[in-house]
Structure 1
Amino acid sequence: MERPKNRFLEELANGLGNHPDKECILLEYESHIDEIIIESYDCTNEAEVTDRIFTRLGSPEEITAMWKEELTATPSNMKWLFILLNILLFGGGSLLTLAHNLYQWEWLSAIWNRLTAIPTLIAFLYLFFWALLGYEIGKGFGHSGRKLLRRTFLLALIPNVVLMILTVFQIIPHSWFAPLLTKTFIIACIIFTGILYPVTWIGYRWGRKASI
């Protein structure tokens, strides 16, 4: 059953031409074909195996067209979209914090109290944001999205680092974040920031697999 696999990969290699991620793409599709072959124990001939590979993965021509189209995508737009979203999240949170400490509005205090009562939920939602970042880059750009992922992550992380520095060195009064801000919470935030990239990377791998 190796011949259907070899023919498929040969056609795919020819179609990809000088694609910068050609070797990685071929290795990934080879692993998927190996899985399909293992699952195709009920096939009685090579033609059935070939049909199953085409059904699951598409033809080499379709795959080639998809990866070539990917090269024409605009990674800059994707990068700045997520950076802008993260800035908006931090900007919105900063405005809410500032307004809560400057104005004694009951409705604003009610919102503040509700939000500070669910820090764990907010943290998980924020983790989902970073996982989504990785997923969208992986799905949209595949193997060629690795550099984009790193650049986007580092740039989008700037507001997080700035806020952490301002808070740790008490440039922003800790009382502004009461009752949320404690030493335990600060340490948790530092650890939480440290796991953002692994979460983003997992999302990227998931998205890259979904693009196949």
Structure 2
Amino acid sequence: MIRSKEAFLRKLEQELSFHPDCREIVAEYQSHLEEIIHERTFEMKDEQQIMSSVVERLGSPEEIASMWKEEAKVHPEKTSWMFVIINITLFLGGGLLTFIYHAFEWTWADALWLYLTDIPFLIILLYIGFWVFLGYEMGKEFGYQGKHLLKKTFTLALVPNLVLMALTVLRMIPYHWFSPLLNTPFIVTCIVLTALLYPICWMAYYWGRRASV
């Protein structure tokens, strides 16, 4: 039975000794532990009751360590490449649809093209959601290890964005193909949002890391 905050943290550090980020993880849990103790102090006076409440909310040190062991089994490279491939697929899919729309007179392609070009800002919001999910998953699944993975994944996944942006700004793509979208406000919005993707990812990462605790 855990009888004090110090005993909880000592046991947690012992159980997490296998993890390279043991100290950082324990420090994170110490912060949460102190928050819970502060909340419960107004409701409970007995330290044993407070610690029981802590264990009920956070889990025992053994349970927490078990969770981190399971997390370590998730292959980070596979997760990273999954997001990279998804982003590339989105761009290739958009490019293929554009080509089909202009090269063939297919009813379904016309209908889909007209629908999508009517909701550009909704598409942008959904796309931002993809990057939020990327950062959140890196934080939730890999914790502190996710920092380096997020940087790598973000850099690789952003390549299609930068290539398309460069081609657009340099007018190296047929503008008339994208005429419903390539207006000045939309281009400026895309450039600004691309610049904001990195901080958005990091905020989502910290959100995910906090949710994993």
**TM-score category by the smaller chain?**
over 0.9
Aligned amino acid, residue 122 of structure 1:
I
TM-score (norm 1): 0.94
Q: Which residue of 2 aligns with 1:95?
A: 96
Gaps of 5+ in 2: none
Deviations along 1:112-157, one digit per CA (max 9) or x if unpaired, are 1111111110000001111111111211111111111111111011
**Cα drift, residue 15 of structure 1:** 1.5
The amino acid that maps onto 1:121 is L
User: In 2, distance between residues paired with 1:42 and 1:184?
Assistant: 55
RMSD value, Cα = 1.4
Query: Is 1:186 aligned to 2:187, yes or no?
Result: yes
Q: Structure 1 residue 105: deviation in Å?
A: 3.0
Equivalence for 1:47: 48
State how far apart, in whole Å, the 2-side matches of 1:92 and 1:146 are: 29
Counterpart-to-counterpart distance in 1, 2:96 and 2:19: 46
Give, as a single letter, the amino acid of the residue that structure 1 aligns with 2:11: E
Residue 7 of structure 1 is matched in structure 2 by 7
Cα deviation code 1:55-89 (max 9, x no counterpart): 01000111112223323321011011111111111
Measure the CA separation in 1 of the matches of 2:108 and 2:15. 61
1:77-117 deviations in whole A, cap 9, x for unaligned?
10111111111111110001111122233432222111111
Shift of 1:18: 4.9
Q: For residues 138 and 13 of structure 1, what CA distance do their matches in structure 2 show?
A: 20
> In structure 1, what is the equivalent of residue 114 of structure 2?
113
User: C-alpha distance in 2, partners of 1:79/1:107?
Assistant: 33
Distance 2:88 2:46 in 1: 56
State the secondary structure of the residue aligned to 2:74: coil
**1:35 aligned onto 2:35:** yes
Structure 2 CA distance for aligned equivalents of residues 49 and 84 of structure 1: 47
CA distance in 1, matches of 2:100, 2:163: 20
Residue 76 of structure 2 is matched in structure 1 by: 75
Unaligned runs of 5+ in 1: none
Q: Which moved more, 1:96-105 or 1:128-137?
A: 96-105
Aligned counterparts of 1:156 and 1:104: Cα–Cα separation in 2: 32
For 2:143 and 2:181, how far apart are their aligned partners in 1?
A: 39
CA distance in structure 1 between the aligned counterparts of 2:73 and 2:127, rounded to whole angstroms:
30
- In the alignment, what sits opposite 1:21? 21
Could you give the per-residue CA deviations for residues 22-66 of structure 1, whole angstroms, max 9, x where no partner exists? Answer: 222112111111110111021121110110110010001111122
Amino acid at match of 2:66: A
Query: Structure 2 length as normaliser, TM-score?
Result: 0.93
Residue matched to 1:202: 203
- Letter of the 2:202 partner, please give it: W
SS class of match (1:157): helix
